[in-house]
Structure 1
Amino acid sequence: MTINSPKTSKTDGRRGGGKRHDRNRPSKTQHKINTEANPDAGGIDIGATEIVVAVPPGRCAEHVRTFTSFTGGLRELRDWLLACAVTTVAMESTGNYWVNCYDLLEEAGIEVCLVNARHVKGVPGKKTDVCDAQWLQQLHAAGLLKKSFRPAQDVLRLRYLVRHRDSLVRENAGHVHRIQKVLTEMNLKLHHVFSDIDGVSGRAIITAILAGEREPKVLAALRDGRCRSSEADILAALEGNYRPEYLFVLGQLQTQWDEIRRHLANLDEEIAGLVGGIGPAAVPTAEPTRRPGGKRKQTGKNAIALDFRKESFRYYGVDLLEIDGIGSGVLTALMSEIGPRDNLLESFGSADRFCAWLGVCPCNQISGGKVLRSGTRKTRNRLAEALRLAAFGLDKAKCRMGEYCRRMKGRLGKAEGITATAHKLARVIHAMIANGRSYDEAQAFRTNPGMERKRLKTLKTLTEKHGFKLIPIQ
């Protein structure tokens, strides 16, 4: 059965005798679909300045109305939906215009189904806001829309601050790049003798230069004792051109860098307070311990000042840092984007659903018995990005996960191998949280009978190719 979108009459804006178009008037020719799945469903088309809402016909004399996007208009929208006995509504995730409407309706007890705009775009006919609202209402009433994942309100507050912190870290990196540019113009080659110009040695030397110090030996004495560069190289790198305009710009950039670092420190305190208020109040009886042979994982300089091993163990009941490649970046994304164990298992009951939401598993498109496309789904997911970064760092790791990463990169290619390793990490994380078990490398890489038969077949092919024969051991 072909389903066509509702159409509205054409607008006639001519002077003298032209019939004026009513923007809230429902379309006369509509193709009805079965609305028994959600009979009390509504549809909302979100815009920057106005919001068009459609309710089931018969609930009101005017079942399509337009409201302003101001707070007063949102309250009128909420009251009208409640008066029409609407219990659930569907809206597209248009920019961030939908957030306030979503929160207000959710507080009123109306279930909000946030859908991807791509899922409802393939609609023929003329496109108007009224048509979009009516089409969303019909699809939602028929139960044809998938609800997008949105974490709980307490996790949303944490996610907002973590994302804001990530933007500050990126902005701070831009300041570091501009500082390095000015130092290069001054012919001070600090980046050749120090690993980071924003490290302990680099910051101390730049601060002394801005204070008026120019003697290379005095500046070189400010370096950290762990610096591996020779004193001769450091002295040579500190001979530069100290022009006034360079020093002025360097001072401004250093002030901005220090200001962002202060903001990051305040953010870390606020985030730590929010993290402590989410999840189980009681700490599990068992304390997280590193597995035998496991190395102590270092925390990056841009990581949140938080005890990730303890907090993640309280959130999920297992020590996810036991997994090779998993660090503070993955745990930060997991805790802020999804939340504790109960939230994860409620929204993603299986590893398949978890990996599909991340967009790291193959999304096969099959038609006529043929696979048209087998790549991963194009999506932007912060947790998936963190898992890919974790997989990227496993390239030279001497462990089973590192071997898996290298094997996948050799078989599929670099980018595809990284995604396949991120897929493996996501499945291991979900299995550990769902089963409440510690990381077991042998269990994570166990082979099934199908894999054994495939390996045996490959060995037989190779031996026959070279003139040998496999004989089973008696």
Structure 2
Amino acid sequence: MEYMYESCAGLDVHQNNVVACVLYGPLTSTRPKKEEKRFDTTTSGLNALKEWLSSFDCQVVAMESTGVYWKPIWHVLQADFQLILANPRKIKAIPGHKTDKKDAEWIAKLMRIDLIPASFVPEETIQDLRDLTRSRKSLVESCNKEKNKIHKILQTAGIKMTTYIEDIFGASGRNLLEMLINGEILTEETIAANVYTSLKKKIPQLVDALNGFVRSHHRFMLEQEYDMILAYEKTIKNMEERIDQVLENYQEEVAVLDELPGIDRKAAAVIIAEIGTDMTQFPSVEHLASWAGLCPGNNESSGKRKSTHITKGNAYLKKVLCQAAFAASRSKNTKFKAHFYRIKQNRGTQKAVVATAHSLLKTIYTLLSTKQHYQEFGEDYDKKKNVLEAS
């Protein structure tokens, strides 16, 4: 077994403290010296950890990605040491007597022989953008839950707005909701003054649909849910403004991604937040696809190929790419549309979406690596490519 570092450290990270183990000695030594110490995770404690590690001339420091507890440690140490963030699933210790010191020592031992695969940790600006896009996603989902609650309350009160209004949270729908909440009398005249466009032709039907049995209880519940929706929408708007400010540093990359079928500015923000703009972080496009969870599984034994289900990967990136793939399948005269329907014909819609998302990710990797703009080759691209390869 070859030793790669004369001095390395493993950190077992917790909320209140971090246990550090340093292994140091000549590369030829099979029994390196060991030092262990526990530090608080306050700023002063982490600065003491940095000084302690520096006293051993540590070449590399490895730690597990434990929740968000690793982030302040990374922030304090990143300027002075080569840092490795490890997936806990990939460095699981041999079963036995488990203690914090043993965990830290195990990480250090694996690091000394270079057996810890490094997780992707982007620069801080990208980390900030990732926090923003993920928070926006959570807020949108929470807002949609409140909207569903309003649908439920309306149905309970015998209000059938959704029969005639496709989106009750559009301008007309909101006006009618506010009238219900305020207990206003709903007549053809009052409704006509608060609805727009084609809904003016449905006023008699709307009067009938709004004639339910709304009690003060329903009005109270509607008011609470509606206020929460307005609060969520205000927060989402503030979040999107902040995202736009951060994206000013990546206008060129956003413009390139926005050219791809199915990808708009919001999707581009999520993609940049999850994979960054420096593709050298990933050894190859295949590695990126595997990291994103868009590669078919490779499970073969005795010459038989077993399950090819995709892995979990990065759920945020996978979701936005699958949404973009489905949108691209509805675009006109694009290679992604042709690719989608070719896979769908043989293997179904779900696998076609994943395969098209995989193709989109490969294109994104190429464009960000080469700093080129997207060029569309049309729906017959695959046929032309096969002809060229055959010749």
* TM-score normalised per structure 1: 0.73
Give 1:300's aligned residue.
Answer: none
Pairing partner for 2:130 from 159, 162, 182: 159
Alpha-carbon contact 2:23-2:33 (below 8 Å) kept: no
Larger of the two Rg values belongs to structure: 1
Matches within 5 A, 1:110-129: 110-121=81-92, 123-129=94-100
Deviations 1:301-347 (A, max 9, x none): xxxxxxxxxx3xx226x63333322233421211222333xx2x221
Query: Does the alignment pair 1:409 with 2:314?
Result: no
Shift of 1:43: 0.6
Query: Does the alignment pair 1:76 with 2:14?
Result: no
Matches within 5 A, 1:29-428: 34-35=2-3, 37-57=4-24, 63-107=35-79, 109-121=80-92, 123-217=94-188, 218-227=190-199, 230-276=202-248, 278-279=249-250, 311=251, 314-315=252-253, 319-340=256-277, 343=278, 345-348=279-282, 350-366=284-300, 370-394=304-328, 396-399=330-333, 400-428=335-363
Give 1:305's aligned residue.
Answer: none
Question: AA paired with 1:320?
Answer: L
Which region of structure 1 is more displaced relative to structure 2, 144-153 or 191-200?
191-200
Shift of 1:40: 2.5
Which region of structure 1 is more displaced relative to structure 2, 43-52 or 240-249?
43-52
What root-mean-square deviation, in Å, do the aligned CA atoms of Structure 1 and Structure 2 show? 2.7
Give the structure with the higher percent helix.
2
Query: What is the CA–CA distance in structure 1 between the aligned matches of 2:198 and 2:117, rounded to whole Å?
Result: 55
Query: Does the alignment pair 1:448 with 2:369?
Result: no
Gaps of 5+ in 2: 27-31
Alpha-carbon contact 1:404-1:421 (below 8 Å) kept: yes
Alpha-carbon contact 1:216-1:239 (below 8 Å) kept: no
Give 2:369's aligned residue.
Answer: 434
Which region of structure 1 is more displaced relative to structure 2, 53-62 or 39-48?
53-62
* TM-score normalised per structure 2: 0.88
Aligned residue for 1:41, secondary structure, equals strand
Query: What is the CA–CA distance in structure 2 between the aligned matches of 1:186 and 1:111, rounded to whole Å?
Result: 62
Aligned residue for 1:150, secondary structure, equals coil
> Aligned pairs, how many?
381
Alpha-carbon contact 2:182-2:219 (below 8 Å) kept: no
Alpha-carbon contact 1:213-1:219 (below 8 Å) kept: no
Question: AA paired with 2:100?
Answer: D
Deviations 1:216-252 (A, max 9, x none): 4212441221549733332221112220111111111
Q: 1:85 to 1:118 in 2, by over 3 A?
A: same
Query: What is the CA–CA distance in structure 1 between the aligned matches of 2:214 and 2:374, rounded to whole Å?
Result: 57
Alpha-carbon contact 1:40-1:85 (below 8 Å) kept: yes
Shift of 1:147: 0.8
